[in-house]
Amino acid sequence: MADPANPSQRPFLGFGLGLRTDHYETVLTERPAVDWFEILSENYMVPGGKPLHYLDRIREHYPMVMHGVSMSLGSTDPLHREYLQQLRQLAQRIEPAWISDHLCWTGVSGTNLHDLMPLPYTEEAIHHVVERINQMQDYLGRQILIENVSSYVTYIQSEMTEWEFLSIIAERADCLILLDINNIYVSGFNHEFDPYDYLNNVPVERVWQHHLAGHSNEGNYIVDTHDEPVIDPVWDLYAEAVRRFGSVSTMIERDDNIPEFAELFAELQRARSVHDSVLKESAA
């Protein structure tokens, strides 16, 4: 286990992209200068077939991290043992730098909502989720990263802010954080909190990865669609994240309306350039 008091133990992979089917051939033949790829774990939990074929070949050339959407850490259903087993097998196959999932629930009583639902921010929920993260970490034999989700509902039962909830869970479960900068912006807009308050109250040493993404602004609320480029206020928030957290492995998430690889690569280069200029400005 990493020592959370020593952020220097945080590996910095550089700047990555989500590996998407549309780009398999481009990645293999052109070997773009992407530092690493994030894969959606569930896409490769199948025996054989095209996804695993490409995964193995691309893995030979790039570091990878695994990102899941199905662990449902907040649910009251028992942890899905078969899913965990498949996750562990995939991890043995590709040896990811780390494994992440979301601080959310995705269903209850066997019904899958196919959405990442927030939890009530209560002591009871903290206790419940910490216990489940412990089980998952014990099973996988490693620390996991939990990601803050974007959300559209709140609960009257909540006793604290989302960032307090996330930070307390990370400390008690001794897990790490995948801090999605766009999700902070989206939830801040939807629930009227200051995204900078969020950013400035998450423990520095636990943040090991950032996500950046685009969304759809519907006027009085934002839907986190991941189908557009990152907007300027999210880039500004990312710059602040670099000031606070330093060099954290960062990637662009695009899940719909997937453009040519070159377009995503250009967006990734913008992340690199924001990071580099913030560090230069801090050193001056």
Site size for Fe ion, by CB under 5 A?
A: 2
Instruction: Check residue 101 for interaction with Fe ion (CB under 5 A).
Output: no
- What's the min distance (Å) between Cβ of 180 and Fe ion? 4
- What's the min distance (Å) between Cβ of 208 and Fe ion? 14
Binding mask 144-183 for Fe ion (x = CB under 5 A): ------------------------------------x---
- What's the min distance (Å) between Cβ of 228 and Fe ion? 14
Asked whether the beta carbons of 96 and 59 are under 8 A apart, the reply is no
CB-nearer residue toward Fe ion: 162 or 180: 180
CB-nearer residue toward Fe ion: 211 or 275: 211
- What's the min distance (Å) between Cβ of 216 and Fe ion? 15
Q: Count of alpha carbons within 13 Å of 133, Cβ hemisphere only?
A: 30
Q: How many whole angstroms separate alpha carbon 63 and alpha carbon 37?
A: 7
- What's the min distance (Å) between Cβ of 60 and Fe ion? 26
Q: How many whole angstroms separate alpha carbon 147 and alpha carbon 127?
A: 17
3-state secondary structure at position 149:
coil
Longest dimension (CA), the chain: 56
CB-nearer residue toward Fe ion: 211 or 254: 211
Q: Which residue is nearest to Fe ion (CB)?
A: 211
Please report, to the nearest 10 degrees, the dihedral formed by the alpha carbons of residues 59, 269, 248, 176 taken in order.
-50
Q: How many whole angstroms separate alpha carbon 122 and alpha carbon 158?
A: 5
Binding mask 190-219 for Fe ion (x = CB under 5 A): ---------------------x--------
Q: How many residues does the chain have?
A: 284
Instruction: Check residue 224 for interaction with Fe ion (CB under 5 A).
Output: no
CB-nearer residue toward Fe ion: 122 or 191: 191
CB-nearer residue toward Fe ion: 206 or 211: 211
Instruction: Check residue 67 for interaction with Fe ion (CB under 5 A).
Output: no
Residues 6+ apart with CB under 8 A from 268: 15, 16, 17, 34, 251, 252
DSSP 8-state class, residue 118: -
How many Cβ atoms are within 10 Å of 81's Cβ, its own excluded?
Answer: 10
CB-nearer residue toward Fe ion: 134 or 217: 217
- What's the min distance (Å) between Cβ of 49 and Fe ion? 26
Residues lying near Fe ion in the complex (CB under 5 A): 180, 211
